[in-house]
Chain A
Amino acid sequence: MQYELSLRLISGGEGLERELTTPQVTRPGLALAGYFKHFSPERIQVLGQQEVTYLTDLTSERRRHIFEQLLSQQLPCIVVTRGQEIPPELIEESRRTQTPLFSTRMATASFIGRAIVFLEEEFGPSEVVHANLVEVYGVGVLILGKSGIGKSECTLELVKRGHRFVADDSVILKHITGHRVIGTSAHPLKHYMEVRGIGIIDVVTLFGVTSVRSHKRVGMVCSLEAWDEYQEDNRAGLDEEEFELLSEKLPHIRIPVRPGRSPAVMLEVATTDWLARRMGHFAAREFNEALLRQIESQQHLSAKEFEDWDDQVDF
């Protein structure tokens, strides 16, 4: 989750401890003309080409006066874009008031865009869950289940099958704008995992750099459930279950687990089927529609007809 904002500190570094309380960014525009009604000093102040050009047209004395007014408001920081030359009065005032002053070579609009994305992520609600996160066919699958149900084994098998590891055991989930939930490992050493019977392994060393991702958007939630606790509510797969994660509703599948069954293969197929549904192929519904047509026309498959199927379908 690193966004290159190419910020360079010019002056006022003593004020870097100032707390930023809002993810919003503003261009002070009218405040530079001395109009401070509805001015939001708590936001990051961005000076673009227009602001800087306006300021250079003023006398040095006027500039000094404006900066005194502006910087007396305990701003979190000021950013001058496009690598523009910074008026010396601004640098002086930033030093005096200990207001951090940055320069970036990015254009104003793209800087503001990236800064907002970054800040909303930082400010968004987050949560740590006991789960694993794997990218399966491009979909981030959050694997939930009680301790000892086999989350790590399932993750390991998925990685062995060419899918990508994101996190084992503890996942930090972050809610960001655009209704997305992003997950990353809660552990400082991100790509290690613990597998019962083997111990701690390093996924990158064993499976290569392409087998890991630092973070991934959660697209689906998969619960591994003990065989005898599994509630068979949706056997035909006609209904789509949902799981609420940080107030986002995500598709949810539940996989019953018992020795000898491979939850990894089930998870792979469930993910593929979900991708197919998103492309408009809902197998269970298509099957049901065909069945309803058949029921309506009462054309039962005769015993003879299904002899031809014999080698394809195993009843």
Chain B
Amino acid sequence: MTDRHEATVTITNERGLHLHVAGLVSKRAASYQSEITLINRDIKANAKSIMSLALLAAPKTTKLTLIAVGPDSEQAVNELVEAFADGFGAP
């Protein structure tokens, strides 16, 4: 059975998921072994890729579906949910 975890996260950054925030998300996501995907309506983005995250063009308050698949998916989802709530420490 594949280890798969899912959650909903909300963008809290004032100007949405812009490039600076995308950089922070991808840096954090890249620290997990799991494959991490963020979904905004019909757009799926690889959370480890900046260019992919930019496709989401998500403004503040957007709800995204976070899916992690892999051995550390539970830890990844838990920590990323927290990080999104905090806006990855960015304004």
Which residues in A have some Cβ–Cβ distance to B below 8 Å?
232, 234-236, 238, 284, 287-288, 291-292, 294-296, 298-303, 306, 313, 315
- A301, B50: Cβ atoms under 8 Å? no
- A291, B57: Cβ atoms under 8 Å? yes
Partner of B54, one of A234, A287, A298, A299: A287
Residue of A nearest to B49 (CB): A315
Name the prevailing secondary structure of the A interface residues: loop
Q: Does B10 contact A (CB under 8 A)?
A: no
- Beyond A235-B26, A306-B55, A315-B49, 8 additional pairs, beta carbon < 8 A: A235-B27, A236-B20, A236-B23, A284-B19, A288-B19, A295-B15, A295-B58, A299-B57
Partner of A296, one of B26, B42, B59: B59
The minimal Cβ–Cβ distance linking A302 to chain B, given in whole angstroms, is 7
Shortest 4 CB-CB contacts between residues of A and residues of B: A288-B19, A295-B16, A236-B23, A235-B23
Q: A235-B27, A301-B57, A315-B52 are in contact. Are A291 and B42 (CB under 8 A)?
A: no
Residue of A nearest to B13 (CB): A295
Please give, as numbers and ranges, the residues of chain A lying within 8 Å of B50 by CB-CB distance.
235-236
Q: Does B17 contact A (CB under 8 A)?
A: yes
The minimal Cβ–Cβ distance linking A126 to chain B, given in whole angstroms, is 38
- B41, A300: Cβ atoms under 8 Å? yes
Bound together, the chains give a CA A303 to CA B21 distance in angstroms of: 23
Residue of B nearest to A298 (CB): B59
Bound together, the chains give a CA A234 to CA B20 distance in angstroms of: 9
